Structure 1
Amino acid sequence: MKSKWRWWLNQVVRRIWFRATLFSVAGVVTALLAVVLSPYIPDDIQTKIGADAVDKILGIIASSMLTVTTFSLSTMVSAYSAATTNVTPRATKLVMEDSTTQNVLATFVGSFLFSLVGIIALTTGAYGDQGRVILFVVTIGVIILIVATLLRWIDHLSRLGRVTETTERVERAAIDALRAARTAPFLGGQELRDDDPRATQPNVPVCRSEIGYVQHVDAGLLSQIAEEFDIDIAVVAIAGKLVAPNVPLAWITAEAHEKLHESIASAFTIGDVRSFDQDPRFGAAVLAEIASRALSPAVNDPGTAIDVISRSIRVLAVWDEQRDAVEMQYPRLYVTAIKLEDLFDDLFLPIARDGASILEVGMRLQKAFITLSGFGDPEFKTVAGRHSKLAVTRAAATAMIDEDLDKIRQTAAVLGKTPIIFAVSD
């Protein structure tokens, strides 16, 4: 599992200003590199390049990159607004972390600074005749980079901020988080069961004064503390849990003192909003929120809800993936488990509620439950059966005509019989 500082660094790297800063520094360094390398250029080469060639090219790049950067920023803001309005505000963070958009903007800003520094150095005579040769060659390379970036940006603009593209990003985030959770169950420790005495008195609770969501738990740090003080640590607040000063983050089997309490509490990162990284339930909830918004009377887009149901099957399929036995990394750490039933609730309850009166949504839900009930883990059949019955009950409570309701009931009845595979595209 990632340490707290690696996780924090990963969050910084995803910020849009990080790549822009790196490309900007690279642009400035590249422009000044010609000053250092100019003594190594033969004198006869500089006569083949016109004295004003580089100046004019850099002037064109500087003016055009400033315009393109401004346009790109306005396009990005529009895409973020579209994702917020048409999809869900919770998905905007993933759109903002789009690597293609960040690389494009960083390339434009870096090219602008490269040309600006080059013009200043040329004006002051820092390059000399040999330096102009190097600057000219580098400028040609920058132009090629700009053209390639523009072509890629034009293609990417057709998808940026669209409902399908944003929904796909949420699906990937949920799958990555769930796969990480299944690859290292219980954060590398042991399962903390509901009736485990380690998570009750007379053991000592560890709390924080902040109110917010747990975004990350540094299991490695907690294990070090447990080994150092010869204690067991029961983690009850995994990523996604809302905590407050009276809500325990963990329980310890020892008398608490200030240093131990602060050390354990520091392993938990708490923020105002949930994070996708260690929290697969958040990705599942955002997927369901996209479907719920699509099913609202103002939007009336059941096709998006049906698409989310299909994506939900792919997310839950990660739970059923075959994997090798994982060696326990932190034997003194006991962690609350992510439950399959909770993932089902996050994904399907909002869709079943908001799409209860729509035949197409009801049918697709039942077919999804039948498909999921055929997965290898026997828990899938139990949980899918419960959700199937709930969906039928919700549909029966609406004004749906008897013929449509019968279709849903007939499809739901298949779940209790010999498994039948329904294609997701049916």
Structure 2
Amino acid sequence: MGMGKGFFHPRTMAESTCKTKHITPFRGWCGSGCSVYALWGHREIKNMPRWRFILTRLVERIWFRAALIAALSVVLALAAALLAPLIPYKLSLSIGANAVDDILTILASSMLAVTTFSLTAMVTAFSGAASHITPRATKLLIEDATAQNALSTFLGGFLFAIVGIIALSTGIYGGQGRAILFIGTILVIAVIVLTLLNWISRLGNFGRVQDAIERVEARAISALDHYPGPRLILQEERHPDAGACIVTASKTGYVAHIDRSQLSEASAEAGVQFTLSAPAGTFVDPTRPLGWCDGSVDAEQLDRMRNAAIIEPSRDFDQDPRFGMVVLAEIGSRALSPGINDPGTAIAVLVAGQRVLDSFSKLDVDTVERAPHVIDAPISFEDMVTDLVLPLARDGAGMFEVGIRMQQMLGALAQRVPQARGWLLDLAQQALDQARAAIEDKRALTRVEDAHRSAFAEAQVPRDVAERA
């Protein structure tokens, strides 16, 4: 996007403000601190190695927790025979352990029905989210901890009962073993009841539009808070210098994760500085660079740098803050389609997006060290705003309610980030022009125009915000 009237160039802005106590300049862009691009201090987390990222993704799979709890249930049922000597024989006669056969039979039949019901509810929610919200939101529902715990617990309870019944029929339990199994069954039932109550309370909102909006908002804020690169007001293209060693992607897809530790080690061995140009969420192919080095590297080091990027077929929320804004815009755009015609959802999306952008501008600075020999890719306020606003301005141009809320949001952002006021004013004017072309009711259009004038009226900027300028 070009720089219209009122824009502030990020270099000029940052160099003029980096002396304030709130801003930590990003040094190392060219290796010597010659460029200062960071608007706000950014949060950083420790570099996640490739194996840990893969393990984290594995644990998030819906089958992983179910398989783990199912295995533990089988172990618990069989462990009763081994723990039998711990129970005094007289105690085993007094606690009613003989009733365990009937209890396990009831538990097995009921848990099979409850597990089937839970699977049906989850599949229905996934299908509804894909059809009526956006297919990109289904991943967040699949990863829901409450849903996974419920399914895993019910399946585990069923297997516990089945294994217990089979073990009882083989006679491996004595009287003491049956007592242990009885106590274990009571504990399993207690866990199942608590899980079922939690699952019932969750079902009332699971998979609804507002639930999806809140999930996407939370993941976008989390990804933004942990983004390891600098933050800019406006996006700025970066290009390698002549003679730089280009590192291209190994296959076509979206960057899901960058192992910065591996990049740092390979760059240190080669004695070069690696500039990352394709952070998580970037579409790459074998002709597009992941980044470049300021010197030559051998084939082995080049492969290590290339393999530091995990490339997958689709984008992911974890390390890609912009993807959260894209998905929010998709939810709002679908709600504005003629078949649904729900401006209230689009307004809720704008409110959620504004909260994400508020998180972008928080003035807190962390001191976690960056990966040495790696210059990280920045994320810009401009990209985050346009990812959300442009689709909604297009699809909601004919609805004055959406237009009014959009003007109010852009005006509020202009007050919070005064350096971006000129660019935000241009974007608000673009949305207003689209509304003028789509709204036929003059009175409704007048309301949008009034909202625009009110949002961008010259007003006193709050003191704490003005100190950033």
1:51 CA drift (Å): 5.8
- Identify which range, 320-329 or 29-38, moves more after superposition: 320-329
Counterpart code for 2:249 = R
Whole-Å Cα distance in 2 between the matches of residues 339 and 204 of structure 1?
26
- The corresponding residue for 2:74 is 28
1:42 lines up with 2:82 in the alignment: no
1:52 CA drift (Å): 3.7
Whole-Å Cα distance in 1 between the matches of residues 169 and 214 of structure 2?
49
1:163 CA drift (Å): 0.7
Whole-Å Cα distance in 1 between the matches of residues 384 and 238 of structure 2?
22
Whole-Å Cα distance in 2 between the matches of residues 258 and 217 of structure 1?
19
Cα deviation per residue 1:314-370 (whole Å; 9 max; x = unaligned)? Answer: 000011112125354224211221111011110111111100111100001111112
1:186 CA drift (Å): 4.4
- The corresponding residue for 2:226 is 180
Whole-Å Cα distance in 1 between the matches of residues 460 and 159 of structure 2?
63
Q: Percent identity?
A: 43
1:153 CA drift (Å): 1.4
8 Å Cα contact 2:257-2:280 kept in structure 1 = yes
8 Å Cα contact 1:215-1:275 kept in structure 2 = yes
Whole-Å Cα distance in 2 between the matches of residues 307 and 324 of structure 1?
30
Whole-Å Cα distance in 2 between the matches of residues 235 and 86 of structure 1?
37
Whole-Å Cα distance in 2 between the matches of residues 347 and 363 of structure 1?
16
Whole-Å Cα distance in 2 between the matches of residues 397 and 326 of structure 1?
49
Whole-Å Cα distance in 2 between the matches of residues 338 and 159 of structure 1?
33
1:237 lines up with 2:278 in the alignment: yes
RMSD: 1.9
- The corresponding residue for 1:385 is 425
- The corresponding residue for 1:337 is 378
1:176 CA drift (Å): 0.6
Whole-Å Cα distance in 1 between the matches of residues 439 and 179 of structure 2?
78
Give matches, 1:336-355, under 5 Å.
Answer: 336-355=377-396
- The corresponding residue for 1:2 is 48
- The corresponding residue for 2:353 is 312
SS of corresponding position for 1:206: strand
Whole-Å Cα distance in 2 between the matches of residues 383 and 327 of structure 1?
32
Cα deviation per residue 1:222-273 (whole Å; 9 max; x = unaligned)? Answer: 1111112111101111111111111011111232432111100111010000
Rate the CA distance shift 1:63–1:342 in 2: closer, same or farther, 3 A.
Answer: same
8 Å Cα contact 1:370-1:420 kept in structure 2 = no
- The corresponding residue for 1:148 is 194
Q: 2:104 aligns with which of 51, 58, 65?
A: 58
8 Å Cα contact 2:255-2:281 kept in structure 1 = yes
- Identify which range, 398-407 or 114-123, moves more after superposition: 398-407
- Identify which range, 320-329 or 160-169, moves more after superposition: 320-329
SS of corresponding position for 1:213: strand
1:224 lines up with 2:265 in the alignment: yes
Give matches, 1:255-334, under 5 Å.
Answer: 255-334=296-375
Whole-Å Cα distance in 2 between the matches of residues 146 and 373 of structure 1?
51
1:395 lines up with 2:435 in the alignment: yes
Q: 2:444 aligns with which of 399, 404, 425?
A: 404
8 Å Cα contact 1:200-1:251 kept in structure 2 = no
Higher relative contact order, structure no. (Cα contacts within 8 Å, ≥ 6 residues apart):
2
Whole-Å Cα distance in 2 between the matches of residues 259 and 119 of structure 1?
58
Whole-Å Cα distance in 2 between the matches of residues 400 and 93 of structure 1?
40
- The corresponding residue for 2:146 is 100
Whole-Å Cα distance in 1 between the matches of residues 420 and 124 of structure 2?
41
8 Å Cα contact 1:344-1:383 kept in structure 2 = no
Q: Which protein has the bigger helix share?
A: 1
1:211 CA drift (Å): 0.7
SS of corresponding position for 2:438: coil
Whole-Å Cα distance in 2 between the matches of residues 6 and 103 of structure 1?
22
Counterpart code for 1:171 = E
| TM-score (ref. length: structure 1) | 0.93
1:166 lines up with 2:197 in the alignment: no
- The corresponding residue for 1:424 is none
Whole-Å Cα distance in 2 between the matches of residues 310 and 274 of structure 1?
23
Whole-Å Cα distance in 1 between the matches of residues 87 and 441 of structure 2?
84
8 Å Cα contact 2:396-2:403 kept in structure 1 = yes
Whole-Å Cα distance in 2 between the matches of residues 148 and 174 of structure 1?
31
